[in-house]
Structure 1
Amino acid sequence: MAPLLHKEVSMTTFPADDPDKVPFAGILPAAPQPYVLGNGEGEKSLVFDQLFEILLSGDETDDQYGAWTMKARQGDRIPAHIHLQTHEFFYVVDGEISVWMDDQADYHSKTTLTTGDFAYVPAGIVHAFKIENTTTVFGAGTAGFERFFHAIGEKTDAAEPQGVYVPDFGVMRAAGEKYATVFMPEFQFRD
């Protein structure tokens, strides 16, 4: 299978009335200014069985990057997907997560990361992950992408992942289009 080409999609700051921001208005300053968040005070959404908390968005960084945490218990591998424009990384704060990456050419890997380990996923790389035990991951990526988690998730105030929220395919497809992400559930990793 030939590598997918990068698609031109604008990943700039979204307007104040963007539906992925409105439910969270006032949590982050929405401008490049100093601020402090206490533990659990960011914008939180449940996606599948994972709790994503946005700590910093493109609004606060002049469209440079966004940052988040993801907390989850042991679970199934998430569907393979590719971000056409977003570079992202995983830093394991605590726990264990397996990460699959495939450039659809020469690079194919499955790596299990533990506390203190780091993985970088450039735009255009098919990837997936599986939480192996209770884990907290710090992540960052290209500005604007961070609210992808709100677009496919369910807003929550929970401090820890609780329950499961499975978005319907239409929601996933719309979020994928908006945030330049292609879901590839039939993709076969070489593991």
Structure 2
Amino acid sequence: MSTITSRPMTFPTDDPQKVPFAGLLPAAPKPFVLGEGQGEKSLVFDQLFEILLSGDETEDQYGAWTMKARQGDRIPAHIHLKTHEFFYVVDGEISVWMDDQADYHTKTTLTTGDFAYVPAGIVHAFKIENTTTVFGAGTAGFERFFHAIGQKTDLNEPQGVYVPSPDIMRAAGEKYATVFMPEFQFRD
């Protein structure tokens, strides 16, 4: 008989950002189905993030989300110290900047069907070039970052703008091992 052992938690299990969303996801590794728009949603800047799967459902292996947005400004440069993440463009166009602060510097415009991987420790940013939907996944627990930095919503499409205060950004960054680097200069 085999036993499943949990990996050490990267992020807190008692995350208060889960509380407003209690019951939307099963919070345990059980099979489930979500209909369109039934995940946990937060507005971050002008982007709508919807958590589809969290570390709670995957025994701390990964989380998954979508991001929908209209054309907008580049988000601040930042680095995730513990989180590996990827972007898959379901529909639209998004420019992604990545810099390892050594010898890898790129700006790539991804269109429908394109994929980008951002390992932990890489400075990155993105800019939505036109109405876009992106599927993303990352290290378990990180998905709650979008709640920590954003504003809960029941909307199914991005509407309005929520700009987190510097204190909220700092607290979310500390909790989810993310460092914002607004002065960072990408080599375009």
The two structures have a TM-score, normalised by structure 1, of 0.93
Amino acid in the other structure paired with 1:56? L
User: Do 2:47 and 2:70's aligned partners in 1 also have CA atoms closer than 8 Å?
Assistant: yes
Structure 1: gaps (5+ residues):
1-8
Q: 1:6 matched to which residue of 2? A: none
Equivalent of 2:173 in 152, 169, 176? 176
Q: State the distance in 2 between where 1:74 and 1:152 align.
A: 20
User: Do 1:13 and 1:58's aligned partners in 2 also have CA atoms closer than 8 Å?
Assistant: no
User: Do 1:13 and 1:59's aligned partners in 2 also have CA atoms closer than 8 Å?
Assistant: no
Q: State the distance in 2 between where 1:79 and 1:69 align.
A: 19
Equivalent of 1:35 in 32, 35, 43? 32
Q: 2:122 matched to which residue of 1? A: 125
Q: 1:4 matched to which residue of 2? A: none
Work out the percentage of aligned pairs sharing the same amino acid.
87
**What whole-Å deviation, never above 9, does each CA across 1:124-167 have from its counterpart, x for those lacking one?**
00000000000000000000000000000000000100000000
Q: 2:5 matched to which residue of 1? A: none
Structure 2: gaps (5+ residues):
1-7
**What whole-Å deviation, never above 9, does each CA across 1:71-109 have from its counterpart, x for those lacking one?**
000000000000000000000000000000000000000
Ranges of 4+ aligned residues in structure 1 off by more than 3 Å: none
Q: 1:14 matched to which residue of 2? A: 13
- Cα RMSD of the aligned pairs, angstroms, is 1.1
Q: 2:72 matched to which residue of 1? A: 75
| Cα distance, 1:12 vs structure 2 | 3.8
Does residue 44 (structure 1) correspond to residue 44 (structure 2)? The answer is: no
User: Do 1:99 and 1:112's aligned partners in 2 also have CA atoms closer than 8 Å?
Assistant: yes
Matches within 5 A, 1:8-157: 11-12=10-11, 14-15=13-14, 18-157=15-154
| Cα distance, 1:13 vs structure 2 | 5.2
